[in-house]
Structure 1
Amino acid sequence: MTDPGRDQKPTFEDLLAEGVAVPTEGWDFSWFEGRAGEARPSWGFAVALGERLGRAEAALDIQTGGGEVLDFALGRVDRGPGLVAATEGWPANVAGATALLRPRGVVVVASPEDAPLPFADASFDLVSSRHPVRPLWGEIARVLEPGGTYFAQHVGPRSVFELVEWFLGPQPAEVSGARDPERECADARAAGLEVVDLRAERLRVEFHDIAAVVHFLRKVIWMVPGFTVSDQLPRLRELHERIGAEGPFVAHSSRHLIEARKPVG
Structure 2
Amino acid sequence: MDAFTRLILEAEQAHFSGWDFSFLKDRLVSETPPWDYRRIITGAMTDANSLLDMGTGGGEFLATLLPLPPHTCATEAYPPNIPLARRRLEPLGVRVVEFQDDDRLPLSGEMFDLIINRHESYCPSEVWRVLKPGGRFITQQVGGRDNIELNEQLGADVDPEYIDWNRQQATEELGAAGFHLSFQEEALSRTVFQDIGAVVYYLKAVPWQIPGFTVDFYRNRLRDLHARMEAGYPLVTHSHRFLIQCVKEPAG
The question of a shared fold, defined as TM-score above 0.5 by the shorter chain, is answered with yes
Q: Check the 8 A contact 1:168/1:224 in 2, yes or no.
A: no
Please tell me whether the aligned partners of residues 158 and 210 of structure 2 are also in contact (alpha carbons under 8 angstroms): no
Question: 2:144 matched to 1:144?
Answer: no
Q: How many residues align?
A: 251
Per-residue CA deviations over 1:23-67 (Å, capped at 9, x if unaligned) read 222112222111111111121112321222232111101111111
Q: Answer whether contact 2:166 2:242 (CA < 8 A) is retained.
A: no
CA distance 1:172–1:142, change in 2 (3 Å): closer
For residue 211 of structure 2, give the secondary structure of its aligned residue in structure 1: coil
Residue in 2 aligned with 1:4? none
TM-score, length basis structure 1: 0.89
Name the aligned partner's letter for residue 162 of structure 1: E
- Comparing 108-117 with 80-89, greater Cα deviation is found at 108-117
**Matching residue's letter, 2:170:** E
Q: CA deviation at 1:176?
A: 2.6
Runs of 4+ in 1 over 3 A off after TM superposition: 168-175
Is 2:92 aligned against 1:104?
A: yes
Partner of 2:219: 233
CA offset digits 1:161-213 (Å, max 9, x no partner) = 00122224464764432x12111101001111111110111101000111111
1:24 maps onto 2:16 in alignment: yes
CA contact (8 A) 1:46 1:70 kept: no
How do 1:1-265 and structure 2 match up within 5 A?
Answer: 11-72=3-64, 74-75=65-66, 77=67, 80-112=68-100, 114-132=102-120, 134-169=121-156, 171=158, 174-177=161-164, 179-265=165-251
Question: Counterparts of 2:140 and 2:10 in 1: how far apart (Å)?
Answer: 30
Question: Which runs of 5 or more residues in structure 2 are unaligned?
Answer: none
Specify the SS of the correspondent of 1:176.
coil
Offset, 1:157: 2.9
In 2, Cα distance between equivalents of 1:240 and 1:69: 33
CA 1:189–1:45: 2 relative to 1, 3 Å: same
Do the aligned residues in 1 keep the contact of 2:182 with 2:246 (CA within 8 Å)?
Answer: yes
* Matches of 2:39 and 2:83, distance apart in 1: 25
Whole-angstrom CA distance in 2 between matches of 1:99 and 1:209: 34
More off after superposition, 29-38 vs 45-54: 45-54
Matched-pair identity in %? 36
Return 5+ residue gaps in structure 1 as ranges. Answer: 1-8
Give the distance between the partners of 2:178 and 2:205, measured in 1 at CA: 34
3-state SS of the aligned residue for 2:139?
strand
